[in-house]
Structures are given as structure tokens and as C-alpha cells.
Structure 1
Amino acid sequence: MQAARNYINAGHYREALNVLEGIQERGARWYYYAAAANMGLNNNIAALNYARQAVNMDPANLEYRQLLHRLEYAGQSYQAAGRRYGMPNLNSACTWLCLSQLLLSCCCGSRGYYFCC
């Protein structure tokens, strides 16, 4: 486990994951290191899942909770930054209707009608 930590600290995330894969006993610390290594490789979904597992196994560990918060907040900050620059909110029903209409037009051909908000 120490080797994985050393690899993470040195920025060798793939090597850290290789070491972690060889470890059979997977406790909270294992999931924390797996989250950190995946975050370093920009595998943010895997990192988030591993961080959640680490926190579930040891909810009192502040280090694990901070990593989880950092990963969760990163996704929110990207959305907020997009809204500041006028990017549309893709969670709105109107946006999904427009995108669905566009997809149907491309797949089924336009039938002379057009709907969008």
C-alpha cells in the first residue's frame, strides 16, 4: 500500500493503480488511494465512486471526506462556470425537447414541421 501512495505522490497514477490491483484486501484506505490515482488520470467518475466507497467504509476519516467533497464540487464548479459564460443548462426540459427534435429530424428526416422552445 505504501508503494501505491508513493506513486500517487510522485504523479505516477497508472503505476499506483497497477500496485492497487495486486492488493486483495480492499479497505477504506485502498479505495481512497484508488480514488486519488483515478483523479490524477482524470477518470473522475471512477474516482468519485471509489471516494464514496472509502467514505462509506470510514465516514469519520476527514481525509476521505475532503477528497469526496473535492470530486463532488469539481462537477458542480464546471456547471457553474458554464452558466457564467452563457452555456445552456442541459437539464431543462426545453433543452431536451429541442435536442430530441433535432435527433428525430436527423434520423427520420424532416416532415415539414419544427418545434423548439
Structure 2
Amino acid sequence: MNPYEILGINKNASKEEIQQAYRKLAKKYHPDQYGNNPLRDLAEQKMREINEAYDYLMKNNNSQSYNSNNYSGSYNNHSSNDYASIRADIDRGNISSAEQKLNSINVRNAEWYYLMGRVNYSKGWYDVAYNYFNNAYSLDPSNFEYRDALNKMSRNNSSYRKPYYSERRSDPDMCKICGTLYCIDCCCECCGGDFISCC
């Protein structure tokens, strides 16, 4: 991703258009408006990317030429090879290695959240996985893989998040058994018999 894409502008954008795009995104992603919200970390990451892209474009605005070799945003701290290695670990079922590698990465972009979602899904922690997939999709809604993972989790949400009472079996519990026996005893006593002699 290049700085123009981060700010959502075309490569021929003027200095004023760059500034307008920056102000719009800064209002949207400024971490102060997220308070204690769990999305605050994502907003901080996104804001760092926006600031780096803006600084780069403002310094190099006269040249009007973007060179990917000159620009490396914070999201490039870990190469795609790192993520490919983590994907390979997940595919081989080596979840602990994948999780350890992910935890060593400080910059958490959409790919990081997606892979951490896969790790948690593999561990059977579906609620946690859903949150990570949701964060990945929020950071990069155009990515089909992230959207597909989130949609699958959403479709299966009812089976992942069954409430306790729906999983209880229909076997009678002790209270129902005692209540039934008490009723039988009362009926028997009304008819002159005694089902439970102690009551």
C-alpha cells in the first residue's frame, strides 16, 4: 500500500487535497475519541500510518512521484515472509509457533488480526476469533479473505455462542424428581395409601 492509497487520494492530488484527506482521516481515527474502547489500539495504528503517509507526501509533494523504495510505512516492519511463515505454521497445525511469532510482532495491521483470528479459531476460542476477524475486516474491508472469514463466523455465530440454557439436556433434574415424588405421595395419601412413609 502506498501513501496515496492510505489517504484515499489519487496520485495527482494537490497539496490542498492531501491536507483535506489527512484532516478527514485524522478526525475519524484519532485515538482520543475511542477512550477505553478496544478499538483504540487499531485507531492508534491507523493514525500512525496516516501521519507517515501525510508526512511523506508533504515532504515529497513537489516531485509528484511516489517511489515505493523511498516510502516504508510502519506496516512494513514485518515482511510478507513473516506472515507467510505464520500462515504455514497455522496450516500445518503448529498453532503455538504461529501464536508466538504473532505475539513478537509489535505493529498490528489487518493481516496480524486475521492470522490471530485463525490461531484462536484453531484453538476453539470462537468468540475471540470473531473479534480478531472483525478487527481485520475493519482495517481492510476490501480484503476478500478477511470479509469471508468474518461472514463465516457471523453465519455460524448461533452455534458458536449457544447460551447455557440451550445446551442443558432435557433430563429431569433433582428438583423435578422431588416435586414429582411429593405430588405422588399427596395423591396416595388422599386415597388412603402412603407412597413415602416418612412424609
TM-score normalized by the length of structure 1: 0.63
Structure 1 residues 24-60: Cα deviation after superposition (integer angstroms, max 9, x where no partner): 1111000000001110110111100100000000001
Counterparts of residues 20-59 of structure 1 (less than 5 Å): 20-59=102-141
Measure, in 2, the Cα distance between the counterparts of 1:7 and 1:18: 11
Match of 1:95 in 2: none
Segments of 4+ moved more than 2 angstroms: none
Measure, in 2, the Cα distance between the counterparts of 1:89 and 1:50: 26
Flag the structure with more relative contact order, 1 or 2, with Cα contacts below 8 A and sequence separation at least 6: 1
State whether residues 51 and 68 of structure 1, in contact with CA within 8 Å, keep that contact through their aligned partners in structure 2: yes
State whether residues 31 and 53 of structure 1, in contact with CA within 8 Å, keep that contact through their aligned partners in structure 2: yes
Measure, in 2, the Cα distance between the counterparts of 1:16 and 1:29: 13
Segments of 5+ residues of structure 1 without an aligned counterpart are 83-87, 91-101, 103-117
Segments of 5+ residues of structure 2 without an aligned counterpart are 1-82, 168-174, 176-199
Match of 1:96 in 2: none
Task: Quote the RMSD (CA, aligned, Å).
Answer: 2.2
Q: Which has the higher helix share?
A: 1
Question: What is the identity percentage for the equivalent residue pairs of Structure 1 and Structure 2?
Answer: 28
* Shift, 1:75, TM fit: 2.0
- Which one-letter code corresponds to 2:132 in the other structure? Y
* Shift, 1:2, TM fit: 2.2
TM-score normalized by the length of structure 2: 0.38
Q: Number of aligned residue pairs: give it.
A: 83
State whether residues 14 and 41 of structure 1, in contact with CA within 8 Å, keep that contact through their aligned partners in structure 2: no
Measure, in 1, the Cα distance between the counterparts of 2:145 and 2:85: 19
State whether residues 4 and 16 of structure 1, in contact with CA within 8 Å, keep that contact through their aligned partners in structure 2: yes
* Shift, 1:10, TM fit: 0.7
